[in-house]
């Protein structure tokens, strides 16, 4: 995939109607936004367009209304918050691409901002319906995608409209593509990737793709126990995907053939059962991964593994991390994840954290400011690491 895409700065926007896809899928409770982080993240792109005199038409989905008009998933709350943040009224359309939206879009003056209703109120959105794409495109002169979190979806508002309009990236997408794209295409070396999370099956293609690119691949989290089992070790009651044992053997053989160093945990935190509730205090012991008792399960990497993984991260020039090292929601089982986050924060390398749980962990632990880039997309960043073409990026014009 070509990562060298045009951005809003490469196109004339003054006086033009600009349809900008944002990620306003914010959490709400009883009709109130509980975190406006995604709205704030979109401000640089919106403010650039406003300051350049564009007529700005914003669109986004919220939740999963599945083509039904659900009042609790209306973007009106986003329009209200955006009005406060921009210090000017954000005009709210009563529909997505119907009469009201079209009339309001036609009446916009330079520097005005409007927001369409939840794109997923229309069934055709997730099916990338050409008629909906045409309707959306008919309101604008230019399409800007600034929603990396949905860039792996070929929907009308993320990719379909680009069939009918010149398409460029906003600042959020530009940052994702330039930093992650460079890390995968032309990284400064040594290049270290750290993968965690529960299941090998979630990261099959990521592991395979990264082995073509990295110097060291570190495997932690629940999926490490499947790799350990594939080496013939007894892992007690630890999470093991028996159907993926042969795959793990293949990947270890591939790493050896390519001269890639593959690090698995040398020790682990063990307990007799998974914590319930997940944040309950539990008693743990630490043992070598070659000596997990039959009646115990591994739930986090141990202190030796923490030190080894941290040393590899600190010696790197580029580090990509996706997935926690243990049950990081638990105060006893978060030590491995904290150690990795701390190592990235202390490193002089280009450090990239793929979205989801590892991004949440960095933010909760206060390390976000010390990381080069924290991805805004969970699924999208995973597919990026797999080397897949993302429809919401592929549709943008090349520089």
User: Domains of the chain by range and CATH?
Assistant: 8-172 (3.40.50.1260), 180-386 (3.40.50.1260)
Phi-psi region of 31 (alpha: psi -120 to 50; beta: other; left: phi over 0): left
Place of tokens 């879009």: 105
Place of tokens 């939740």: 63
Radius of gyration of the chain (CA): 23
pLDDT at 378 over 80: no
More confident residue, 327 or 376: 327
Average pLDDT value for residue range 350-360: 85
- The gap between the terminal CA atoms of the chain, to the nearest Å, is 13
Average pLDDT value for residue range 225-238: 97
pLDDT tens per residue, range 82-118:
999 999 999 999 999 999 999 999 999 999 999 999 9
Nearest to 288 by CA among 301, 275, 271, 299: 301
pLDDT tens per residue, range 65-79:
999 999 999 999 999
pLDDT tens per residue, range 166-218:
999 999 999 988 888 888 888 999 999 999 998 888 888 899 999 999 999 99
For residue 52, how many other CB atoms are within 10 A of its CB?
18
Average pLDDT value for residue range 268-274: 97
Helix pair angle (335-346, 303-314), 10° resolution: 20
Question: Which residues are annotated as catalytic?
Answer: 38, 199, 356, 379
Specify the pLDDT at position 359.
86
Specify the pLDDT at position 355.
66
Specify the pLDDT at position 4.
87
Could you tell me what percent of the chain has a pLDDT over 90?
86
Average pLDDT value for residue range 134-154: 96
pLDDT at 360 over 90: no
With 0-12 / 13-18 / 19 or more C-beta atoms within 10 angstroms meaning exposed / middle / buried, residue 359 is buried
SS (H, E, C) the chain: CCCCECEHHHCCCCCCEEEEECCCCCCEECCEECCCHHHHHHHHHHHHHHHCCCEEEEECCCCCCCCCCCHHHCCHHHHHHHHHHHCCCEEECCCCCCHHHHHHHHCCCCCCEEECCCHHHCHHHCCCCHHHHHHHHHCCCEEEECCHHHCCCCCCCCCHHHHCCCEEECHHHHHHHHHHHHHHHCCCCCEEEEECCCCHHHHHHHHHHHCCCCCEEEECCCCHHHHHHHCCCCCCCCCCCHHHHHHHHHHHHHHHHHCCEEECCCEEEEECCCCCCCCCCCCCEEEECCCCCCCCEEEEECHHHHHHHHHHHHCCCEEEEECCCCCCCCCCCCHHHHHHHHHHHHCCCEEEECCCHHHHHHHHHCCHHHCCEECCCHHHHHHHHHCCCCHHHHCCCEC
Average pLDDT value for residue range 367-386: 86
Specify the pLDDT at position 369.
92
Average pLDDT value for residue range 272-297: 96
């Amino acid at each position: 995939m070509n990562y060298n895409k045009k951005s809003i700065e490469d196109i004339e926007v003054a006086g033009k109607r600009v349809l900008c896809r944002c990620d306003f899928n914010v959490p709400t409770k009883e009709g109130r936004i509980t975190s406006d982080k995604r709205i704030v993240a979109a401000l640089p792109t919106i403010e650039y367009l406003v300051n350049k005199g564009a007529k700005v038409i914003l669109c986004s989905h919220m939740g999963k209304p599945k083509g039904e008009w659900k009042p609790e998933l209306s973007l009106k709350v986003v329009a209200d918050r955006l009005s406060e943040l921009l210090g000017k009224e954000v005009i709210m359309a009563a529909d997505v691409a119907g009469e009201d939206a079209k009339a309001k879009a036609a009446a916009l003056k330079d520097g005005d901002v409007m927001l369409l209703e939840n794109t997923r109120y229309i069934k055709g959105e997730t099916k990338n319906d050409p008629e909906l794409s045409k309707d959306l495109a008919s309101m604008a002169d230019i399409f800007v995608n600034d929603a990396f979190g949905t860039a792996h979806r070929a929907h009308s508002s993320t990719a379909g409209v680009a069939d009918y309009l010149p398409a460029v990236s906003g600042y959020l997408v530009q940052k994702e593509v330039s930093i992650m794209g460079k890390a995968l295409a032309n990284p400064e070396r040594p290049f270290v990737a750290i993968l965690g999370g529960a299941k090998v099956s979630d990261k099959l293609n990521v592991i395979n793709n990264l082995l073509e690119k990295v110097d060291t691949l570190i495997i932690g989290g629940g999926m490490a126990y499947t790799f350990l089992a594939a080496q013939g070790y007894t892992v007690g009651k630890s999470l093991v995907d028996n159907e993926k044992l042969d795959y793990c053997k293949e990947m270890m053989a591939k790493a050896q053939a390519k001269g890639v160093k593959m690090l698995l945990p040398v020790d682990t935190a063990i307990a007799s059962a998974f914590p319930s509730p997940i944040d309950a205090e539990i008693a743990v012991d630490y043992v070598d991964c070659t000596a997990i008792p039959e009646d115990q399960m591994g739930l986090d990497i141990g202190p030796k593994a923490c030190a080894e993984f941290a040393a590899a991260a600190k010696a790197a020039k580029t580090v990509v991390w996706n997935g926690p090292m243990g049950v990081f929601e638990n105060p006893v089982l978060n030590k491995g994840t904290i150690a990795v986050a701390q190592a990235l924060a202390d490193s002089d390398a280009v450090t990239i954290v793929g979205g989801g749980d590892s991004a949440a962990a960095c933010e909760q632990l206060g390390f976000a400011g010390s990381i080069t880039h924290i991805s805004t997309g969970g699924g999208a960043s995973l597919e990026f690491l797999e080397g897949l073409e993302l429809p919401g990026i592929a549709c943008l014009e090349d520089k």
